[in-house]
Amino acid sequence: MGAYLEQYGRGEERRNRIIKWIIICSVAILIAIWILYLVFHNRPEINKAKRFLAQVNAHEYKQAYATWGCTTPNACPNYDFSRFLEDWGPQNKVTAPWHIVSVDGCKSFVTINVDAQGAQMQSIAVERSPGHMMSFAPAPECMEKQWRWKQFFQRIFGGKSSSPS
């Protein structure tokens, strides 16, 4: 009779263990997808801003103006090349290269704050549309209601704040 009850419940233990591993793996996959989304969501817009800043830092102002979304023959109506040079050109007295300070994603555009020693911080808006048109952002950070994950984790674990002062 002992041999009969010896196998009792083993199938249920195995099934419970399989269900537990399925749940743990599912949660781990969802967390990994969420982290990848947070890391790569604004990547195309950040790459466009990096390309623009690299051109400005290399003093390739015509190419930077084209990256901004304007070309010399078809200048932007409210932002001609001479005004572009006033904002980004050599008369700006920048002593260090432009670099990205912080990034904040909105629904229709990404606000990218850039700074250089000797210049004021500039807020650039890069649209999420396929053309990724650039303009000056209305504010240094997105004014829409949204979760601020980066600031949340920085408050918990310490570190430098990403919001500009």
CATH topology assigned to domain 41-157? Nuclear Transport Factor 2; Chain: A, (3.10.450)
Task: Tell me the residue type at 11.
Answer: G
* Burial (CB count <10 Å: 0-12, 13-18, 19+), residue 56: buried
Report how far residue 11's alpha carbon sits from residue 29's, in angstroms, rounded to the nearest whole number: 27
Read off the pLDDT band of 165 (50, 70, 90).
very low
3-state secondary structure of 111: strand
* pLDDT at residue 151 in the model: 66
Q: Where are the domains of the chain?
A: 2-38, 41-157
Q: What's the whole-number mean pLDDT along residues 65-71?
A: 85
Distance CA 154, CA 156 (A): 5
Q: What is the pLDDT of residues 85-124, one digit of tens each?
A: 888 888 777 778 999 998 888 888 999 999 988 888 899 9
Task: Say which residue the tokens 């408050």 belong to.
Answer: 155
Do the beta carbons of residue 73 and residue 66 sit within 8 Å? Answer: no
